[in-house]
């Protein structure tokens, strides 16, 4: 099957999807082949910045010293100093609720061992272990990048999905996001494009349209 341009496929998928009363997400589905997915290096787990963002608010939480939290409070959605973090670690129900509501986590590097030991059981399975930031550093740039990023996880599946925008975005912007995500994913695969069986684009409730 001959390749089609991302913009053509995005346009077709939007045209074929009935209008909904909620802001639908536009998704990419990637089907890989000729990979032993029992081998961890063959699995995709990455945070991919999209040139035009997600088309919705992306929440970022930071665990850090009071000084780090002060730097981040105007840009991160949630900041937690060690005392607040300790309270969270004691309440598994509250921890699960927070992890489900937040897209990305950051943590000042010295806190990572404690977070891994106490909250790893909640964060790990959801693919949300915090990204470490250097002690005393300025997390602004990292948080800004996260707010336009998506998490791509294949786990042990040959087919995996990722959001690339929303229906409210111009098709050109969604297409640029798709191209950026595919470039990143292909760079992670052992044989690049040769490890991809097919790629589809769809809205949350609409039909899938083949890109590759």
Q: Which residues are CB-contacts of 40 (< 8 A; sequence separation ≥ 6)?
A: none
Smallest CA-to-CA distance from 140 within 193, 87, 76, 81 is with 76
Q: Which domain holds residue 12?
A: 6-55+151-210
- Residue 126 within a domain: yes
Residue pLDDT, tens place only, 107-120? 999 999 999 999 99
C-alpha dist (Å) from residue 117 to 26, 68, 90, 92, 112: 36, 22, 13, 13, 9
**Cβ(201)–Cβ(193) below 8 Å:** no
- Residue 65 within a domain: yes
Domain count, the chain: 2
- Residue 158 within a domain: yes
CA angle 38, 209, 162 (to 5 degrees): 45
**Cβ(150)–Cβ(181) below 8 Å:** yes
**Residue 76 sits in the same domain as residue 142:** yes
Strand (E) or helix (H) holding 100:
helix 92-101
Smallest CA-to-CA distance from 28 within 136, 160, 176, 125 is with 160
- According to the model, what pLDDT value does residue 23 have? 83
- Residue 1 within a domain: no
**Residue 127 sits in the same domain as residue 193:** no
Strand (E) or helix (H) holding 78:
strand 78-80
**Residue 136 sits in the same domain as residue 163:** no
**Cβ(158)–Cβ(33) below 8 Å:** yes
Report how far residue 16's alpha carbon sits from residue 209's, in angstroms, rounded to the nearest whole number.
9
**Residue 107 sits in the same domain as residue 72:** yes
Name the token pair of 52: 């035009």
Tell me the whole-structure pTM to 2 decimals.
0.85
Q: How confident is the model at residue 40 (pLDDT cuts 50, 70, 90)?
A: confident
**Residue 10 sits in the same domain as residue 51:** yes
Q: How confident is the model at residue 99 (pLDDT cuts 50, 70, 90)?
A: very high
């Amino acid at each position: 099957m001959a390749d089609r341009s991302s913009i053509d496929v995005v346009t077709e998928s939007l045209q074929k999807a009935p209008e909904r009363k909620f802001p639908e997400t536009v998704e990419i589905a990637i089907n890989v082949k000729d990979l032993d997915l029992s081998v961890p290096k063959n699995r995709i787990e990455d945070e991919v910045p999209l040139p035009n963002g997600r088309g919705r608010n992306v929440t970022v939480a930071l665990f850090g010293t009071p000084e780090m939290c002060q730097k981040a409070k105007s840009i991160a959605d949630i900041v937690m100093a060690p005392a607040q973090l300790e309270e969270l670690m004691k309440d598994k129900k509250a921890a699960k609720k927070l992890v489900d509501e937040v897209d990305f986590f950051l943590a000042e590097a010295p806190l990572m061992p404690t977070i891994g030991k106490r909250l790893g059981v909640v964060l790990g399975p959801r693919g949300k272990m915090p990204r470490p930031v250097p002690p005393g550093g300025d997390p602004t740039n990292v948080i800004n990048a996260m707010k336009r990023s998506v998490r791509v996880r294949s786990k042990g599946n040959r087919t995996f999905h990722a959001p690339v925008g929303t229906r409210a975005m111009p098709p050109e912007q969604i297409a640029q996001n798709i191209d950026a995500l595919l470039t990143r994913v292909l760079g992670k695969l052992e044989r690049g494009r040769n490890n991809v069986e097919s790629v589809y684009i769809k809205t949350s409730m609409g039909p899938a349209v083949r890109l590759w």
